[in-house]
Chains A and B, each alone.
Chain A
Amino acid sequence: MEISGAQALLESLKHEGVDIIFGYPGGVLLPLYDAMYANKDIKHILVRHEQGAAHAADGYARATGKVGVCLATSGPGATNLITGIATAYMDSIPMVAITGQVATPLLGRDSFQEADLTGITMPITKHNYLVKKTEDLPRIIKEAFYIARTGRPGPVLIDIPKDVLVNKIKYKYPDKVELESYKPNFEGHPKQINMAVKAIAAAQKAVIYAGGGVIASDANKELKELAEKCNFPVTTTLMGIGGFPGTHELSLGMLGMHGTAYANYAVTECDLLISIGARFDDRVTGHIARFAPNAKIIHIDIDPAEIGKNVRVDVPIVGDVKKVLQALLAKLPAKEKNQPWLDQIGEWKKKFPLSYKKEGGLKPQFIIEELYALTKDRETVIVTEVGQHQMWAGMFYQYDKPRNWISSGGLGTMGFGLPAANGAQFGRPNALVVDIAGDGSIQMNIQELTTAVNNRLPIKIFVLNNCFLGMVRQWQELIYDRHYSHTQLCNNPDLVKIAEAYGAVGLRVTKEEEVRPAMEKALAINDRPVLIDFVTAKEENVFPFVPPGQAINEMIID
């Protein structure tokens, strides 16, 4: 029997286990939307802006580990996905973005709503396709999902002209992917692993530095085993939060620009740094030449291009983090505790704990602490926007499990949180999903409240409202002589009314004693989103702070 390209697309997605797509229709997609009309297997979530579709697919992927799928029409619909695709690319999130394209005879003629999407997305996708023939569609879908989720995960874009959706083919889904030139390396080289064993044996003051790769490869158990076997403290990147239990005594929290003082000191002093699924981003390393200056470096990563990209590496191991750690653990003899090193770290922890001054208005850190106290015993996914609130949410909430912290690390995308929270809630219907937001960020994709309301998503949006683009204001305060150029948001709309207008619940909190009751009230509402507008201290800063260009042990601590 012959079926249309649109039907073949849906069948192929079903084959890949896709049960939800976040999308927005348009002219060239009509054949597909028509095919969806009768389709019961794949749920389509209508967002209110394509950027929301991309971030929702991304949030869904981060919360579940599955491939997220988003869909947009040609031209403006497709270009609206770009920020979402770039966000997923920078954080190595498995995603398949499907875009409609003008019919093949119209390609390249500046036709109505034509944009060269494969051209535009080349630098921000792991790979992309322009489908020229309907017969190629099943194979391309198969390849796209394979590429998106294997190796270093990432977004793959499939651009599909309208006629390709209309033409009919004899449908058969391929059972194998045949990609001559794409063969990720999963197993670490035994020789390198032996070298790592030796380096670990010789180390006195080691630190493990874990990134998002630990979460992507589901290696949190192995990481914990390694840390406990060797008694090595563990610091994580922003993307690695939750890869190692935050409440563990060996946990150092985050390192880098807004890392803990003890993590930054430990990394600066260590003689062995074991980097696991992390990429030595400049926000982590600070002044690169003075980063871990005395350390031998072991670098484990699935992407060979990451090794030696930013720092010199003594023991490179290319492979899947989980597999490499398993091989390493099998060969690694138990290591005696280096008590003086752990004592030194304990002392730093005591001397420079994460803290804040309690006086001077409602403190954002206090709000996060209260949220933690209230929700630590239930399955909670914290999603964030970008700014100071993001850093506080990373610092003052403890994450003991992976995939409970969802934040735009690499691209730092304001407007990510709300749609990503929607996606996360679809993926994890039983979890409590909280978007911690700033008053600036929340206004970037606030229209996605409709998506949440329409689908009765009980997400909570906690706006830490400081009437500023806080993180930028902080830099202006500390580096630009308090010139608050265009960072004041004194004309913010009434966010409570906005929430209500969308059909969500809106609450406002201005005092400490109102925090807990408001949160409890919000948590009790299960059939719609709740936004709490927390009116916080205006000029609170995120500390520690490593000024740009400095070494990470040169922090402003408070």
Chain B
Amino acid sequence: MRHIISVVVENKPGVLTRVAGLFARRGFNIESLAVGTTETPDISRMTIVAEGDEQDLEQIIKQLYKLIDTMKVFDLPADKAIERELVLIKVAANDKTRQEITQIVDIFRGKVVDVAETSMTIEIVGDENKVSGAEKLLTKFGIRELVRTGVIGLMRGSAE
């Protein structure tokens, strides 16, 4: 099963290595990992997407808690989480296709952020499905380059 794990850690050197190393040592494949500071500058939040069954997940959460710099760990359940990812796609474009591409981008509420003679660069924000959907539709034009930030997520509502 796919899990989104949110890890709140002290913003210190080496913490990212500790967390990532822990996943690697236990044979967990990290699908994506996004890190940034929070409302408190000396605290960072990592959002990690990984595959594993419930038991694996429980163990990884407990192991994460064992790290001295870990403050909190959440498993973000799909139905209670807001999940977003930003993707930049550079797609081949010409006079004939530019319009069609723009339409697709509009449907996905994306943005064209750069236009050149033979390409367009598009920014799309959304959950994994939306991003993958857009990617699929744009494939036929020829994707030159693509970069995804990895998922970030928060629990809905006021409670955590």
Contacts and interface: CB of A to CB of B under 8 A. Distances in A.
A127 B59 contact: no
B10 to A, nearest CB: 6
Contact of B59 (A122, A126, A179, A305): A305
Interface in A302-353: 303-305, 307-309
A181 B18 contact: no
B39 to A, nearest CB: 15
Nearest to A309: B59
Interface stretch (B67-75, B79-87, B105-113): B67-75
A119 interface: yes
B14 A181 contact: no
Contact of B68 (A130, A181, A305): A181
A118 B17 CA distance: 10
B25 A304 contact: no
Interface in B39-63: 55, 58-59, 62-63
Q: Which of A118, A181, A304, A308 has the most CB of B within 10 A?
A: A181
A436 B58 CA distance: 41
B53 to A, nearest CB: 13
Interface string B1-30: 000000001100110011001000100000
A303 B65 CA distance: 10
A369 B150 CA distance: 63
Contact of A123 (B21, B55, B68): B21
B71 A180 contact: yes
A147 interface: yes
Given A181-B68, A305-B66, A118 B55 contact: no
Nearest to B13: A130
Contacts of A119: 17
A118 to B, nearest CB: 6
Given A180-B10, A181-B10, A304-B65, A122 B70 contact: no
Contacts of B63: 305
A307 B63 CA distance: 11
Interface string A107-129: 00000000000110011001100
A88 B59 CA distance: 22
Given A123-B25, A308-B59, 17 more contacts: A123-B21, A127-B67, A127-B68, A147-B68, A180-B10, A180-B71, A181-B9, A181-B10, A181-B68, A181-B69, A303-B66, A305-B59, A305-B62, A305-B63, A305-B65, A305-B66, A308-B55
10 contacts: A122-B14, A180-B71, A181-B10, A181-B69, A181-B70, A182-B68, A304-B65, A305-B66, A308-B59, A309-B62
Interface of B: 9-10, 13-14, 17-18, 21, 25, 55, 58-59, 62-63, 65-71
In the complex, the 8 A-B pairs of residues with the closest C-beta atoms, listed nearest first = A305-B62, A181-B71, A127-B68, A182-B68, A304-B62, A305-B63, A122-B21, A305-B66
